[in-house]
Amino acid sequence: MSTSVRILCARCKSPVHVPARPRPADLISCPVCRVRDSFESVRDQLRRYKRERLARKLDARMRAALRDSGSLEYFPEIFPEGTYHFIPDD
C-alpha cells in the first residue's frame, strides 16, 4: 500500500514536486533554493524525520505522565538533532 505525502524543502518550506512514479535514482529538488537529492535519499530522510518526531512526542508524554510520580523515575532518551533537506508537510 502506498501513501501520498506532500514534501517540503526543510530550508525554505517550499513544496517540492515529485514525479508520479519516481525511481530511486531520480533527483528531487527545491524550486526555490535548489537543494536536491535522490528520491531514495529523500524517502529515507522522511522516514527518519517521522521516527524522530514520534520518539520526541512519546518522550514528552512519558515525562508528563511520570512528572508527579514519587516512586518512578524516568531517564529520557537524548535525541540528536537530525539534519534534513526535505521534510513531510504535516
Each residue of 18-42: pLDDT tens digit?
998 999 999 999 999 999 999 999 9
Give dist(CA 8, CA 55) in Å, integer.
21
Does residue 1 sit within a domain?
A: no
Residues contacting 72, CB < 8 A, separation 6+: 66
pLDDT at 28: 95
On whether the CB atoms of residues 39 and 28 are closer than 8 A, the answer is: yes
Q: Which domain holds residue 53?
A: 7-78+84-88
Name residue 73's amino acid: E
The grid coordinates listed for 17 are 514536486
Low-confidence ranges of the chain (pLDDT < 50): 1
Give dist(CA 90, CA 70) in Å, integer.
36
Please indicate, yes or no, whether the overall pTM of this predicted structure exceeds 0.85. Answer: no
Q: What's the structural domain count of the chain?
A: 1
Does residue 69 sit within a domain?
A: yes
pLDDT at 3: 66
Residues contacting 73, CB < 8 A, separation 6+: 66
